[in-house]
Amino acid sequence: MRTNGFYDQQTTFSNAYSNGYNQAGPFQPSPVMSSQQQNNIPSPFFNPLQAQNLFNDPVASMAVKYGSNLADQGKEFVQQNVDKWFSISKLKYYFAVDTNYVAKKLFIMLFPFLNRDWSVKYSQDDGTAVPPKLDVNAPDMYIPVMAFVTYILMVGVTLGTQDKFSPEKLGIYASSALGWFVIEVLLILLSLQILSVKSALKTFDIMAFSGYKYFGMILCLMGQLVLPDAYYFVLLYVCLSFTYFMVRNLKLMILMGNNNNQNNNQNGESNPYEQSSYGNKRRIYVLLFISLLQPLFIWWLTFKF
Amino acid sequence: MVFGLYTLLEAGLLFVNAIAILNEERFLRKLRSNQNTQQNYGDPTSVSSQIMTLIKSVQMVMRFPLIFCNTVVILMLLLFG
């Protein structure tokens, strides 16, 4: 519809000029508009119906139309191409958070032994996970993204207190931290694949859980700013609490994904005991591996300051 | 440790190179015979079979992109040191 209007503009542009400036809208669909233009009564109030006709100059209004056309086409183009790599709607699920959720989640990260119920709630109508606004245990990407950026800023502050800061260093530390994040996510995905652990964890879930430890890193760096020796105590406590947090969070997702495999053996016969005990040992290894990666990376990315 | 994104990318490229140039005759045959006698084509989910699958798929899929990436990196190292 809009492209038709655009082409109409081009053919009737000469008409608009010949009839005077007030007929800048032969492409306007509503008949009310054309009558208002022909009357040429400038309204003293800002009438939203006339908002499109704010420019009396047809060139400017045509430029506005063209620009908005281009923006629409660009938006469609971007959406189509980005959808090929990952779906944006699934990403939106991870950002559906509110302040209540963020506060509770940060509290759980620091004091995981106070939380009693770690199960992720599923919605009853479509069986997918409930968005993080309604369930504290659901993973989200808002905290990891914000914590990552804050961590880089904290690194800058820490370097500044030691007189070692320069703006290039921010970029260097940011790209190297991003590189380590990618390496960690790839390591976890690789271990899940090699040990053939089928779990309910999606890639975004793994990215979310790997990103939670940046909050711990921020606390370690803040502790170091207060007292240089306090860093080790804060590091110890943060490592312990994050390991416990990861174990409790992933235990349900990894160890329970095994129940779906018990009756679906490939040969058609069910060996529940043999497969479940074999599978469980691997799952425990994967769980321990993921949980122990967290304190390793917390230490690795903060010890040099 | 500050490694920089480029260094990490280069390390990744070298790792994938290492997987791609594993010699078929000397090394992979031994692994494959171990796997055959052990599991008798029964268990495709064991660790060794998964690693074999991974190595085979990396070798097959990444052969062409690896040639391209290696050429690019070699040129850049030659030009910019």
Instruction: Tell me which range, B4-8, B31-35, B63-67, is most confidently predicted by mean pLDDT.
Output: B63-67
For residue B37, the model assigns a pLDDT of: 65
Are B9 and A180 an interchain contact pair (Cβ–Cβ within 8 Å)? no
Q: Which domain holds residue B70?
A: 5-80
HSE-CB for A134 with a 13 A CA cutoff? 7
- How is residue A247 written in tokens? 């174990």
Mean pLDDT, all residues of chain B: 80
DSSP-derived secondary structure letter, A129: B
By percentage, how much of chain A surpasses pLDDT 90?
Answer: 13
Contact assessment for residue A133 and residue A95, using Cβ atoms and an 8 Å cutoff: no
Q: Does the pLDDT at position B2 exceed 60? A: yes
Q: Does the pLDDT at position A167 exceed 70? A: yes
Mean pLDDT, all residues of chain A: 76
A178 touches chain B (CB under 8 A): yes
Are B2 and A183 an interchain contact pair (Cβ–Cβ within 8 Å)? no
Categorize the per-residue pLDDT at A218 as very low, low, confident or very high, splitting at 50, 70 and 90.
Answer: very high
Q: What is the mean pLDDT of residues A94-108?
A: 88
For residue B40, the model assigns a pLDDT of: 56
A15 touches chain B (CB under 8 A): no
- Among chain B residues, the shortest Cα distance to A190 is held by B54
Stated length of chain B: 81
The whole-angstrom separation of Cα A207 and Cα B46 is 26
Residue B26 C-alpha, separation from nearest chain A C-alpha, in angstroms: 23
Return the higher-pLDDT residue of B32 and A257: B32
Categorize the per-residue pLDDT at A11 as very low, low, confident or very high, splitting at 50, 70 and 90.
Answer: very low
Total number of domains in chain B: 1
Question: Whole-model pTM?
Answer: 0.70
Q: Does the pLDDT at position A28 exceed 80? A: no
Q: What is the mean pLDDT of residues A8-31?
A: 47
For residue B1, the model assigns a pLDDT of: 61
Return the higher-pLDDT residue of A205 and B23: A205
A231 three-state secondary structure: helix
pLDDT digits (tens, 9 = 90+) for A123-132: 777 667 777 7
Give residue ranges of B with CB < 8 Å to any A CB: 1-5, 8-9, 12, 44-47, 50-51, 54
pLDDT digits (tens, 9 = 90+) for A35-88: 444 455 555 555 555 555 556 788 888 888 988 998 888 888 887 777 666 777
Greatest alpha-carbon pair distance for chain A in Å reads: 88
- How is residue B8 written in tokens? 């990490």
pLDDT digits (tens, 9 = 90+) for A252-293: 777 665 554 444 444 444 444 444 555 678 888 888 888 888
pLDDT digits (tens, 9 = 90+) for A176-186: 888 889 889 99
Q: What is the mean pLDDT of residues A226-248?
A: 89
- How is residue A256 written in tokens? 């329970």
